[in-house]
Structures are given as C-alpha cells and as structure tokens.
Amino acid sequence: MSTRERILDAAARVMRERGVAHATTKEIARAAGCSEALLYRHFDDKQGLFMAVLQERMPAFALPDDAAGTGTVEGNLVRLVGGLLDFYADSFPISASIFSSSTLLARHREAIAAHGAGPQVPHLRLQAYLEAERKAGRVRPDADVEAVARLLVGAALHHAFLVAFWGEGNAAEPGLGERLVAPVLPALLTG
Amino acid sequence: MSTRERILDAAARVMRERGVAHATTKEIARAAGCSEALLYRHFDDKQGLFMAVLQERMPAFALPDDAAGTGTVEGNLVRLVGGLLDFYADSFPISASIFSSSTLLARHREAIAAHGAGPQVPHLRLQAYLEAERKAGRVRPDADVEAVARLLVGAALHHAFLVAFWGEGNAAEPGLGERLVAPVLPALLTG
DNA sequence: ACGGTGTTAGTAAGTATTCACTCACACCTC
DNA sequence: GAGGTGTGAGTGAATACTTACTAACACCGT
C-alpha cells in the first residue's frame, strides 16, 4: 500500500474513532507511523488531507444494480434498506464531523456539487428504483414514491445516528430492514 | 439577562453558525462581549461550557400534549411530524457537532443517561402516541408502531440533515409533513 | 453618616502548551 | 548526482487557561 493510502487510512481512522477535534497532524502521523512532515509531501495542507479523506474514504454508496421488475418489490426493498443501513452505519461518524467546521462544510459542498454527488443521492436512487417499479406496474400509480424513499432512507440514517451516539454496542438489529419496509408496503403495492 | 445566559447564548450562536471547530474561547468571548477570563468564572473549562450549551440551549423537544383519541390519527400525526421537523431543524447543527470529539460525546452521553433523556426520546414519544391510539382502537392491533415511529422520526432527521448540509436556503418545504405521513397510514388505520 | 470589611463582576496581561506547517538534511534508487 | 522519499528539529501563531488586579456594591458596628 502506498504511503498516501496509509496516511488516508490513518486519518480516516482517527477521525472516526476520536473525532475531527482530535484529528491533529501529530495524531494522524502517529497513526500512520510516519512523521508529520511527510503528510505535507502528499497533501497541501490539513484541510486538503481532510477533503481527500472525505472523497476517497467515505464508503461508496452502491445500491445493488437496478433490480426493478425482478424478484418481489418487498424483497428488493429489504435488500436496498439493508444496504442503506450499512452505508450510514459506516459513513455517519465522518459525515457528522463535516458539520464541526463551517469552512470544511463549505469546501466539501463545493467539491461534491462538482461531482453530482451529495447526501441526496441515496434517496434519489431509492426513489428511482420505486419509479421503475411503478412503470413496471408493480407499484401503485398514485403512490408518493419520493415520500416513501425519504421515509426509508431517513430511518436508516436515524438508526446510524443512534448507533453512533450510544457506541458500537447495539449495532446490528436483525430484521430491522424487514420491519422498516413492512409499514410502507400497503401504500405501494397494487392490490 | 444574566451574564451566564449571555455567554451560553453566544457560545450556542458561534457553535451553530461557525461550527465547534471555530468555537474558540476568544471567539465566544467576543460574541458575548466580555473577556475570556469571565468565561472561566462561570464554567470550569471549555468542555464544561459546551456541556452547558448542550443541556441548556438544545431546543426542547415538546410533543403537544397527548392527543390520543382526539381529532383524527392523520391530523395528529401530521402535527407531530411537523414538530419533529422543526425540532431537528433547530437541533441538528449542534447535535452533529457532538460527534466531532469522542470525549465530548462520552461526557454528553453520561450526562444524558442520568436524565433519561437522549436521542431516542423523540421516536419513543411518537411510538407511545401510536400505542395509545392502538389501545383506543384507532390503529390496527397488528401495526408495528415502533417501525412507523422510526420511519417518521428518521425522515424528519434526514430532512434536517439535508438542510444543514445545503445551507439555510431550502428550509421550509410546505406539505412535507402530510406527504411523509400519508404512506404509513394504510398500515396503521383500521379498515 | 461613615469608614471598614468582604463579596461579586469584570478585565488586561500574561503563561504554558499545542497547533499547523517548514526546512535543512539524510537515505535510497536509478 | 539527481530526484524522489523520508525525518528531526524546529517556528510563529493560536489556544486554553491563570493570575493579579480594579471598580462597584452590600452589610455592619459605631
């Protein structure tokens, strides 16, 4: 693994485990097993390093390839929500830390706007899946798919928030995906 | 207004507007219009001041008094979700900042555990309302009220997250409460 | 009424430490 | 020997926190 990658891993680890406030250059260098000076060979400054972590060490949000029309809507939704729960569990600690600095937030916002990425992507993707199912006739034509997408994505985010707050202890909650999907099914399914 | 209150207001304002990273003692003192030394007359240390802000300047989450059995379930839920949207819109910026420091998070967690407060309160309260309605026979006996509460609370939190990320611009979204409540109604209402 | 005594509210000017960041220099490979 | 990779030893600035001090005010015995 290249030094740059080691530094990025170390920085991400410190940010996750101790919070951005403690993610000092000294702490990151110690975690990466190198000198502080070396950080500056690979990154312009500390904010540049943070930005690289945000862009290269945020867990990718990959919804499984569009399964619209295959399997059952319920099964697909459960799988998608499971992916959302994992995604937010991994990304929430670092995402939240962005809000600790207005300047970091502003830079991140600009960087992200350029890529078409951003925090609205998950619910837009889920919404797109539901729209495809609606087009396929497996979801009621009058269903508010945007609202449903927001409910499901929100519940996943909320769960990550609680886990991050209370510590790693109560992380996995088996069957949560199924339980979250069930209440919105009557509003979705053609009947 | 007492000096202590002025300092708390100033600290909360700086934390909100510029983020905890920029909430230095100097900055807070300047915002409060006093000397840094005075901060230490009223608080043990900076973390103590932050803790006081978290405990005394977080917007109170007040669900309107238990309306179970009155009005319509839909109307009550819309009102409750509206309250949640306001609550999270106000509290998210400061809540998120807790995660910037593992030690601050740990202290806040302990302080909160003592009060029986914490981030699980909103969805427990909403869940309690739904259970009351179930007992009153206005919600299906087989409805998963916990899952529904998590969906609605999560969607409100998610909305606050997006607003905090993109700036104050796209804050109010009229009719959002109604749209979020509608998809869970079929799973709740007795038919 | 008046001086003495203590308390409260406030600050200017520090100190020690930590922070992000730099630089001169060493080591290595080609 | 040139250029990439790496470091020890710093630097000035910023930070959290302290100290020594003042002005205002309340209380009280005489």
Q: Are A64 and A80 in contact (CB under 8 A)?
A: yes
Q: What is d(CA A143, CA B91) in angstroms, rounded to the nearest whole number?
A: 31
Q: Which residue has the tokens 């994505």?
A: A153
A33 and chain B in contact, CB less than 8 A: no
Q: Does the domain spanning B3-56 belong to CATH 1.10.10.60?
A: yes
Mean pLDDT (chain A) is: 93
Mean pLDDT (chain B) is: 93
The pLDDT of residue B59 is 87
CA distance B188 to chain A (A): 8
The gap between A49 CA and C21 C1' (Å) is 13
pLDDT digits (tens, 9 = 90+) for A111-166: 998 988 899 999 999 999 999 999 999 999 999 999 999 999 999 999 999 999 99
Q: What is d(CA B123, CA B100) in angstroms, rounded to the nearest whole number?
A: 24
Nucleotides on chain C that have an atom closer than 7 A to a protein CB are: 9-14, 18-24
The gap between A72 CA and C4 C1' (Å) is 90
Q: What is d(CA A79, CA A63) in angstroms, rounded to the nearest whole number?
A: 9
CA of A67: how far to CAs of A120, A146, A188, in Å? Answer: 21, 18, 16
Q: What is d(CA A176, CA A87) in angstroms, rounded to the nearest whole number?
A: 14
The pLDDT of residue A171 is 63
Q: Answer yes or no: do B183 and A151 touch at CB < 8 A.
A: yes
What CATH number should be reported for the domain whose range is B73-188? 1.10.357
Which of B93, B102, B155 minimises the CB distance to A22? B102
Q: Nearest Cα to B80, choosing from B168, B155, B158, B173?
A: B155
Where are the domains positioned within chain A? 3-56, 73-188
What residues have CB less than 8 Å from B87, skipping those under 6 apart? B59, B61, B122, B156
Say whether the CB atom of A100 is under 7 angstroms from strand D: no
Say whether the CB atom of B46 is under 7 angstroms from strand D: yes
Mean pLDDT, rounded, for A94-116: 92
A105 and chain B in contact, CB less than 8 A: yes
